[in-house]
A and B are shown apart, each in its own frame.
Chain A
């Protein structure tokens, strides 16, 4: 089978959507290794980045087995337009810990709900794989949520910085719920319902924001709004993709 067969498969596009989110989230966050504000949190953030990358790999491996492909080829060798990560994953954080923190928390909360749903899918061992991943994902949500509260309530300065980061990310966050192509035009198709998942996510996020003394307004975008899930990435994604594949492309088709 070919990469195109995988890309044309409806369930694969949902799996790929989460895998690509996790790859790019881990990729961007791993760039902070050694540079976070506190050593202990540097180590924790790196562990979460490694979890994200590992989770992406588990999902790529599932797809590789289903479609007889190489997991690294799925991860690195697609054209940028064939990646299904949402644009929130790749928003540059400009070395601002508040943006990094808010982005990871918004996305991790979403990913956990997505894995909850995929864990119920009766298709090969996909459900089992996702059930394993969501337990670690839940730890990320708890850790990042605690930091949202700590920094939201820590000082006037930290509250303002976190609020500014949320203001920057809130609009893009809704686009996490953009359906990928192929048979997901209706809410029902989005692995148990796009609208229901958005409501659950917004309730969870809203409860933490309230405790953190922060505000944000999120809206579920119209089905027609196109973004990263359908390959329409912001300009910085192609730069990140070029950097991510630079060494691999230098000597293609060989072991590194």
Chain B
């Protein structure tokens, strides 16, 4: 599964760099020159870039978990192979992004330990359950589709290693999206039971996909470091609108109903009614839609989502169970501190 790299709450930033060097650095960015690891950069840029790449790397390896659960149940040899390869790709994206992060000054073991002790985060969308095979289809279609939209704008950023990694990742994500689209199409062309399974999964994942891009940016986002330094290049709301414009008509064409839903504490839908806000504004070309439940978003990001505990516990188990292998080959794994 893909991880967007939108750390939701940028830290307060105090820029203490030499003004002349800072001006030169910002000029290079506005000239479209890529910043490389050996180049001078403000400490706050390094810290923010590390935070973003590490968050993205964490998202990739946590994102492998919900889909990984379904490899052993994939219903044909080709689906089984495709899903294994897809989850492997996500692990590979994690590996590439940890390499980018390592170059910014943090060891891989520190990053993996911070993830399993709750010190660092991963993308919110991976804290939701996948109760059916159709959830896997929806993740690959909607969430990977959203990730491609986001990551294409991140590939237009300024930090060279991250930009190059995004370009590589996006090529693979395009395959994931096509695979998801094929899975959704197959389900929606199938039996009544398969269509119903697809609709129920769509109800679960549509609001998560809307939240994927993060909450609205501050009004002055363009003047703040993440956009000023081209770590991100497009506002969250703008990306969300492009996503709805692309996926709302596609879902309707497939016979899916876009519902407004409520969910219980397990992330399962308790009510679904058609979104009355939904419609194409002919003059702007934009689709209107009902906003997702942003209170839920904040609840989940603070650790109270349906699967937060389960996801971190599995990563922690993996970290602990594999420590002897890393010790044996001299990668210096140490005992895991207690969970935060």
Contacts and interface: CB of A to CB of B under 8 A. Distances in A.
A157 B77 contact: no
Q: Which of A37, A42, A251 has the most CB of B within 10 A?
A: A37
Given A150-B328, A155-B328, A33 B76 contact: no
Contacts, number: 140
A150 B329 contact: yes
B243 to A, nearest CB: 26
Contact of B80 (A36, A53, A95, A96): A53
A191 interface: no
B40 interface: no
Contacts of B318: 34-37
A196 B326 CA distance: 38
Given A35-B314, A75-B77, A251 B190 contact: yes
A251 B197 CA distance: 11
A225 interface: no
Interface in A56-97: 56-57, 60, 71-72, 75-76, 95-97
A208 interface: no
A30 B325 contact: no
Interface in A35-50: 35-43, 46-47, 49-50
A39 B61 contact: yes
B324 A161 contact: yes
Interface stretch (B84-92, B114-122, B155-163, B299-307): B84-92
B250 interface: no
B19 interface: no
Contact of B72 (A31, A40, A154): A31
Contact of A251 (B76, B90, B191): B191
Give the size range of B's interface with the partner: 35 or more
Contact of B84 (A46, A60, A240): A46
Interface stretch (A7-15, A122-130, A241-249): A241-249
B258 interface: no
Chain B residues touching A, majority SS: helix
Contacts of B321: 37, 95-97
Contacts of A217: none
Interface in B65-80: 65, 68, 71-80
Nearest to A47: B88
23 contacts: A30-B71, A30-B84, A31-B68, A31-B72, A33-B71, A34-B91, A35-B318, A37-B318, A37-B322, A37-B326, A39-B61, A40-B95, A43-B91, A49-B84, A50-B85, A57-B77, A72-B77, A76-B75, A154-B328, A244-B72, A246-B73, A255-B189, A256-B194
A254 to B, nearest CB: 5
B256 interface: no
A256 B79 contact: yes
B325 A256 contact: no
Nearest to A101: B325
Given A46-B87, A256-B194, 11 more contacts: A27-B80, A34-B61, A36-B318, A38-B325, A38-B326, A39-B61, A42-B88, A251-B190, A251-B191, A255-B189, A256-B186
B331 interface: yes
A34 B77 contact: no
A133 to B, nearest CB: 15
A251 B194 contact: yes
Interface residues of A, number: 49
Contacts of B81: 50, 53-54, 57
Given A37-B321, A97-B325, A155-B327, A56 B190 contact: no
A60 B331 CA distance: 41
B90 A157 contact: no
Nearest to B90: A34
Contacts of A43: 88, 91-92, 95
A151 interface: yes
Given A34-B61, A36-B322, A38-B322, A46 B91 contact: yes
Contacts of A42: 88, 91
Given A43-B92, A50-B85, A250 B193 contact: yes
